[in-house]
Amino acid sequence: MKEERPSPDELLLRVQQEEVRKRQGKLKIFFGAAPGVGKTYAMLEAAHQRQSEGIEVVVGIVETHGRQETEKLLHGLEILQRQQVEYRGTVLYEFDIDKALSRKPELILVDELAHTNAPQLRHKKRWQDVFELLAVGINVYTTINVQHLESLCDVVTQITGVTVRETVPDFVLERADEIGLIDLPPEELLQRLGEGKVYVPEMARRAGEGFFRKGNLMALRELALRRTAERVDEQMQSYRVVQGVREVWPASERILVSVGPNPRSIRLIRAAKRMAVGLRAEWIAVNVEAPSKVKPSKSDIIKLAEHMSLAEKLGAETVTLSGQKASEEILRYARTRNVTKIIIGKPAHPRWKDMLFGSMLDEIVRGSGDIDVYVISGDVGESQPHTVVKTSKQRKKTLINSSFLSILPVFFCTVISLVMFPYVALGDLSMVYLLGVVVMASWIENAPSFLTALLSVLAFDFFFVPPRYTFNVNSPKYLITFAVMFTVTIVISKLTHRVRIQANTARQQHQTTAALFNLSRKMVQEQTIESLSAAAINHISEVFGSSVTLLVPDESGKLMPTLSGNNTFDIDQKELGVAQWAFDHKQKAGYATDTLSGAKALYLPLATASKTVGVVAILTGTSDVFFDHRQMHLLESFANQTAMAIERVLLTKEAQQTLLYPNN
């Protein structure tokens, strides 16, 4: 194979990444196919070996599950006391991350990486605790089973029939500096299970009848071996890049997956991740905001944000598109991004809906051309799409409102036509009804066009077509008039509604672009931290209708509010601790996040390429306000612009001080 020298940008990026990794701790994961294969035992043996080499080893948390041979290996190792947390009347013994950080050993053992922490603790998941330890330079040994990987848990559910609740994003495994595969043939594992070395006898019996069937273990073992092989292949590919070896493939694969609020989207996302890993391809998660007769509920918005967030955690590029037809937008975007494979969900609605309203799946398949289309269904045990069950009162109220909206334009058009009837031709009166439909569709969202069109035709026939005041007609030509009038009325209503949606979408996009531009322009004009803070606070507060406080570190590194005013809020010590954590770790925390989610406000670090210059805090004032995926991205864009502006001011001050005091 021909070797090529990497570009200077690639070399610089790799050097920067290596410098960051040098300051962090090393992560070793003991990876297994199922409980009982010996991951914790192997981890403890490795810990004793490192201790004999003079390495300081501390046990942060190890779960022995009553296995005597594992408990014996704890002897001779320093064990940190666990943190006691009361939860629903039960005392839980959790890993104490603050004690581990203050102890700061060279190597710490943290068992069961996929564990979910008690709600009172700092992080939602234990793997987040591990990442915080790595960030301060502590080496970590940990364990995990293949079924806990986010992209594989639905496959495991399909194989074993057991739904995996505790999962870990795949990037956690990719972050590992070393992976040790702890492999055990199914026969030996079943023997250990029967001997009571995995669970107590009663639990072992139930496990043998369910999860621990031989076929399940064989499939899980294959998954673990495949995932480990993929990891080795990734390391090999990384080596090829470092050495400047040209790829042997003439073109790379790129995968697009269509994501929505439907719970089945989770399966599509995981399938796309697995396919991307197998093909070493980029992948994109796309949501299309297309006009709909049903306005998305808050629950749907939250679910969509969760699905897009899951895709981001698994390494996808997330994109939100706007258009009239989801199929057209997906295909158009796929061609612009040179997508080779599209993953879409199998429709669960009745066939007659496709016949009446069209099939998105059929449109994508027919219009895909050279792009491969993969159609995937949801799992059998998967939760069904969220539906809102209306009471009889709600249904009655909706029916009354819809009927009123349908009758209103017909009534006014009929009154106007009765006034005009003696002076204009009969054909011209139909234009009045068309005008009413246009006004209706342009003013009222989701206007009932079908019923309005039907009532318009009936009113025109009853009041104006001879014989008048009956639904009879004295000439067959009026039937053609009614059919054309009905069709044109519906088409005009649909087109008017479409134009209205396009205008709303364009207005939203313009507002977003204008907000970013205005903030950027204000930042360029300001020359002090206080004025920059005021501009950022006022702008974010105006766009999101929230109270905003901006905090920057003092000489000791402690965060302090830059100013107070009408749009700011006071931060107590507890909230200040959350802000300090976001500052120290360059990660968002607080409200609407997985870290310290009990906080009242959302805290975004003001991070640049070189350092973190502060934190912006956003207080919504009510728990009902939810930052969806697009709003969160806009907030992060505001934070990035503010961070760059503050860094510019700080660099200017440093340059001025250097000029004034060159010897200091």
Q: Would you list the domain boundaries of the chain? A: 8-242, 254-376, 392-501, 526-660
Give the integer Cα–Cα distance in Å for 605 and 591. Answer: 14
Structure confidence at residue 6 (pLDDT): 56
Amino acid 30: pLDDT: 95
The per-residue pLDDT for 397 is 53
The CA distance from 107 to 40, in Å, is 15
The pLDDT tens digits of the residues spanning 590-624 come to 887 888 888 889 999 998 877 888 999 998 866 55
Classify 210 as helix, strand or coil.
coil
DSSP E strand stretches across 445-572: 547-553, 559-561
Predicted local distance difference test score (pLDDT) of residue 193: 78
User: Residue by residue, what is the 3-state secondary structure of 306-331?
Assistant: HHHHHHHHCCCEEEEEECCCHHHHHH
272, 264 contact by CB (below 8 A): no
To the nearest whole number, what is the mean pLDDT of the chain? 80
Q: Which of 541, 528, 524, 548 is nearest to 604 (CA)?
A: 548
The whole-angstrom separation of Cα 378 and Cα 148 is 19
Q: Would you mind telling me the total number of residues written for the chain in this entry?
A: 664
The topology (CATH level 3) of 8-242 is: Rossmann fold (3.40.50)
Report how many helices (DSSP H) and strands (DSSP E) the chain contains, helices first.
22, 18
Distance, CA of 345 to CA of 431 (rounded, Å): 43
Is residue 180 helix, strand or coil? strand
Mean pLDDT computed over 431-451: 67
Which pLDDT tens digit goes with each residue over 226-270? 888 777 766 666 665 555 554 434 346 789 999 988 888 888 998
Q: What is the pLDDT of residue 384?
A: 39
Q: Write down the pLDDT at residue 250.
A: 34
pLDDT given for residue 216 in this prediction: 83
Orientation of helix 529-544 relative to helix 477-525, angle to 10°: 160
pLDDT on residue 251: 45
- Residue 182's CB is within 10 A of a number of other CB atoms, namely 18
Question: Is the distance from CB of 324 to CB of 332 less than 8 angstroms?
Answer: no
Alpha helices in 379-476 (DSSP H): 392-420, 426-443, 449-464
Split at pLDDT 50, 70, 90, the class of 5 is: low
CA 115 – CA 168 distance, rounded (Å): 9
Span between the terminal Cα atoms of the chain, in Å: 54
pTM here?
Answer: 0.61
Using CA atoms, how far apart are residues 314 and 270, in angstroms rounded to an integer?
Answer: 8
H helix intervals, 24-84: 39-52, 68-72
Please tell me the predicted confidence (pLDDT) of residue 249. 40
Residue-level pLDDT at 52? 93
Question: H-helix or E-strand containing 23?
Answer: helix 8-23
What letter represents residue 534's amino acid? A
More confident call, 540 vs 398:
540
Mean pLDDT, residues 313-322: 85
Answer yes or no: are the C-beta atoms of 289 and 505 closer than 8 Å. Answer: yes
| Listed range (186-190, 198-202, 280-284, 626-630) with the worst mean pLDDT | 198-202
Mean pLDDT of 39-50: 94
User: Which two structure tokens, joined as six digits, stand for 428?
Assistant: 């011209």
pLDDT of residue 27: 95
Task: State how far the Cα of 436 lies from the Cα of 434, in Å rounded to an integer.
Answer: 5
Q: Are 493 and 440 in contact (CB under 8 A)?
A: yes
Q: How far is CA 179 from CA 20, 26, 39, 47, in A?
A: 20, 11, 11, 15
CA atoms of 221 and 33, how far apart (whole Å): 5
More confidently predicted of 144 and 394: 144
Q: Which residues touch 399 (CB under 8 Å, ≥6 apart)?
A: none
Extract the tokens encoding 415.
């009154």
Q: How confident is the model at residue 381 (pLDDT cuts 50, 70, 90)?
A: very low
- Helix/strand/coil for 59: strand
Say how far apart CA 316 and CA 357 lie, in whole Å: 31
Query: What pLDDT score does 603 carry?
Result: 92
Residue among 578, 654, 572 at smallest CA distance from 611: 654
Highest mean pLDDT pick, 156-160, 170-174, 502-506, 592-596: 170-174
Tell me: domain 254-376, CATH 3.40.50.620, correct? yes
Class of domain 526-660: alpha beta
User: In CATH terms, are 8-242 and 526-660 the same topology?
Assistant: no
Q: What is the mean pLDDT of residues 330-344?
A: 86
Give Cβ neighbours of residue 607 (< 8 Å, ≥ 6 apart).
Answer: 586, 613, 639, 640, 643
Model pLDDT, residue 247: 43
Lowest mean pLDDT among 251-265, 389-403, 429-443: 389-403
Phi then psi for residue 267, to 5 deg, are -65, -40
3-class state of residue 602 by DSSP: strand
Q: In which band, very low, low, confident or very high, does the pLDDT at 457 lie, cut at 50, 70 and 90?
A: confident
Q: Which residue has the higher pLDDT, 609 or 309?
A: 309
Contacts of 392 (CB under 8 A, 6+ apart): none
Partners of 628 in the β-ladder: none
